[in-house]
Structure 1
Amino acid sequence: MAGKSKKTISFILIALAVLFVLIWGLPFYIVREDQQAVVTRFGQIVASRTEAGLYIKVPFIDEVTEYPSLILSLDGDAERIPTRENQFIIVDTTSRWRINDPALFYQSFKTVKEADIKLSDIIDSATRTVITRNRLSEIVRSSNIINEVHTDTETQLVEMEDDDSAQIEALVNAGTTNETISKGRDRLCAEMADEARKMVGEYGIELIDIVPRQIKYSDELTSSVYSRMIKERNQVAQAYRSLGEAKRAGWLGRLENEKRTIESEAYRISEETKGKADAEAARIYAEAYNRDPQFYEFWKSLESYKTTMQNFDTTYSTNMDYFKYLYGTNGNR
């Protein structure tokens, strides 16, 4: 009998504990720091919670729908959009947004996935509207610093007018002109966001920004752009070759002039040396002749024989004076 009483008491205590937990837990719900919630009763919104904490609801009647309170990102699809110059480009954007009115958001979408679909359409429309009103240069550039760099380069070219590097820089930058932008990519991104905010405010969404992740030419323009770039680079390459040929011709001309100058100077020096040598030889010959005229005449005749006789196998002459030292009576002295 005592054992049955103990079992009954244990069962009652367990039942009371379970009932206490059910009664205590069901009316309460928790909203975390990274969440916000909407409480609905029979499909009607009765409360929205944007602060973290512990809240009470009617058990089995109220339904709590939770949404993130963090900043969310949305990556759009790549779109083919014409610019103001009617040049088609591919634009891929990303945007940041968050839910600032959970009740209004619940009435508009119910789920974040549905909001992504609607927000993507709005952002695509705003992006197309802004891009079609502006030039390509406004979309891809944020400032006019490239024009300032070009001006600085021109100033340097003036300062280096006689330098080869100045000529090369002039060839590389020949015909390069850059448009001056009045807005720039950052301002256009702000315009895209402002355009989209006109349509998302009624959905309980705060759009933070829209940023292009990628901007590129469409496929049909890519080949023509590459062809133009190749043509421009070929022109620059030809300009380099022309500059090289001009330098080569100048160096060869200077080399030829220096060669002629050196040869002329060498010839002048050689002629002066020959003249001095001939004068010295004549002096020596004259001195030798004055010492012994007969020996001098004999020596010169032998030199002449050595020069002329070796060119002939047989010599016939009626002028015996020339051979007087060979056949004359005095030749054997």
Structure 2
Amino acid sequence: MNKSAMILPAVALVVAGILSSIFIVDEREKVLVLQFGQVKAVKEEPGIGFKVPLIQNVVRYDGRILGLLTQPLEVTPLDDRRLVVDAFARWRIVDLVAFRESVGTEGVRAAQARIERILNAAIREVLGAVPSQRVLSEDRTSLMNLIRDQARRQALSLGVDVVDVRLTRTDLPEQNLAATYARMRAEREREAADEVARGNEAAQRVRASADRTVVELTSQARKESEVIRGEADATRNGIYAEAFGRDPEFFAFTRSLTSYQRALQGSNSSIVMQPDSQFFEYLRSDQPPAAP
């Protein structure tokens, strides 16, 4: 009985020691085996690993691609137009030993802060070398690739690889929006005024051309009417002369009637002349006046 009582605790201790020396690495993890803070083994493949109980311990790190959303950052492009930029980076641990030496016991949280500082420096350097119009354009792939490459080179010392960088927002600072909108409004109003001025100038040219055409047409019509009127008067005078030559007395009679009609037009016509005036010769005698 005494022997059995001593063996069972020993077996239990051996089993506990064996179990505590075994650890399992998940396919999503990377593991460091540390002994008094020093790296003794690196386990990156999934499976079972072993360590010395009570002396060595296991530190686990996420082996997947991680994301980092930076805080809004104000940058000044080449044309001194300030912009507020947000970026999103994807990164992963590629060197566990260098990563442990760089961030210590704080792990991923410390790495995120250091990567963000590296990323902000790369954003400032790359965007500060180009005009703001290129930053604000829809096609910023080349700029994002430059930022990624520069951040990747600097982040390798941390044992991490920057896989991708995306600019999620590029806007003007709030205090500049009102001034920018006012400038845009002034530019649009100036363009509108230019268009109105050009329209008025074109309308003036069309109006002047139309007025000139009216004057020319009116002058031509007046000229033609005067010519026609002159020809008609000449024809009329020729007819009168021919008629006078055929019957002078009848011509004198018709001329007198025309004169009476013109003189007595209106509802209250008055003529003052001598009774024996030759003007009323056809009214007071049945005989025609003598031909002159």
8 A Cα contact 2:78 2:132, kept in partner: no
**For 1:328 and 1:139, how far apart are their aligned partners in 2?**
111
C-alpha spacing 1:74/1:275, structure 2 compared with 1 (3 Å)? same
Residue aligned with 2:178, SS? helix
Aligned mates of 1:26, 1:195 — CA distance in 2? 39
Structure 2 CA distance for partners of 1:36 and 1:192, relative to 1, 3 Å:
closer
Asked whether the 8 Å contact 1:96–1:209 carries over to 2, the reply is yes
1:271 aligned residue (204, 222, 226): 226
- Show CA shifts across 1:198-246 (max 9, x none): 3x33321112344433233323333333333333323222221221111
The secondary structure found in structure 1 opposite 2:163 is strand
Alignment of 1:1-333 (within 5 A): 27=22, 29-32=24-27, 34-40=28-34, 44-51=38-45, 53-58=46-51, 63-83=57-77, 87-107=81-101, 108-110=103-105, 111-129=107-125, 131=127, 134=129, 136-137=131-132, 140=135, 186=142, 190=146, 193-194=149-150, 197-198=153-154, 200-311=155-266, 313-318=269-274, 320-330=277-287
TM-score after normalising by structure 2: 0.74
Aligned residues of 1:88 and 1:217 also touching (Cα < 8 A):
yes
Q: TM-score, normalised to structure 1's length?
A: 0.66
* Contact map agreement 2:127 2:135 (CA 8 A) in 1: no
> How much has 1:324 moved relative to structure 2?
0.5
What is the CA–CA distance in structure 2 between the aligned matches of 1:214 and 1:247, rounded to whole Å?
A: 45
Amino acid of the structure 2 residue aligned with 1:46: K
Provide the secondary structure at the position in 2 that maps to 1:92: strand
Contact 1:89 1:217 in 2 (8 A): yes
**Residue 75 of structure 1, CA deviation:** 1.3
Give the unaligned 5+ runs of structure 2: 1-14
Q: Which structure is richer in relative contact order (CA contacts within 8 A, separation 6 or more)?
A: 1
In 2: Cα distance, 1:258 partner to 1:86 partner? 57
Partners of 1:83 and 1:131 within 8 A in 2: yes
User: Is 1:69–1:98's contact at 8 Å kept on the other side of the alignment?
Assistant: yes
CA distance in 2, matches of 1:278, 1:138: 80
Higher Rg of the two aligned structures: 2
For residues 278 and 116 of structure 1, the distance between their equivalents in structure 2, rounded to whole angstroms, comes to 109
Code of the aligned partner of 1:255: A
Once residues 235 and 24 of structure 2 are traced to their aligned partners in structure 1, the CA distance between those partners, rounded to angstroms, is 129
What letter corresponds to residue 258 of structure 1 in structure 2?
T
Partner of 2:9: none
Give the CA RMSD over aligned residues. 3.5
How many residues are matched?
266
Secondary structure of 2:278's match? Answer: coil
Given that 2:24 and 2:49 are in contact with CA atoms closer than 8 Å, whether structure 1 keeps it comes out as yes
CA distance in 2 between counterparts of 1:138 and 1:258 reads 51
C-alpha distance in 2 between matches for 1:113 and 1:57? 27
Task: Indicate how the Cα distance of structure 1 residues 314 and 118 shifts in structure 2: closer, same or farther if over 3 A, else same.
Answer: closer
